[in-house]
Structure 1
Amino acid sequence: MSDKARKVEAFISLGGNIGDPSIAIEDALTALANKPGVTVTTRSRFYRTPPWGKTDQSEFVNACAGVKTTLTPTELLKTCLEVETSMGRVREERWGPRIIDLDILTYGDVTMDDPDLTLPHPYLTERAFVLVPLKDIAPDFQLNGTDISAMLEKLDTSEIVAMDQH
Structure 2
Amino acid sequence: MVSTAGGEATSPARLAAHWPKHAGTISTLKPGVLLLLNFLQCNQIPYGTLTLESAPVLADLVQALHEFNLKPQINLVDTSPIHAIHQAVSQLAIHNQAHVLGVFDQGDWLIAAKHCQLNTVGIIEGSRMIGLSQPAWTNLPAGQKKRLAQLARRRLIQLEVENPLMNAQALFLLIRQLKQLEVRA
TM-score range (shorter-chain normalised) is: 0.3 to 0.5
| Greater relative contact order, per chain length (Cα 8 Å cut-off, separation 6+) | 1
Larger radius of gyration, structure 1 or 2?
2
Q: Which has more helix, going by share of residues? A: 2
TM-score (norm 2): 0.32
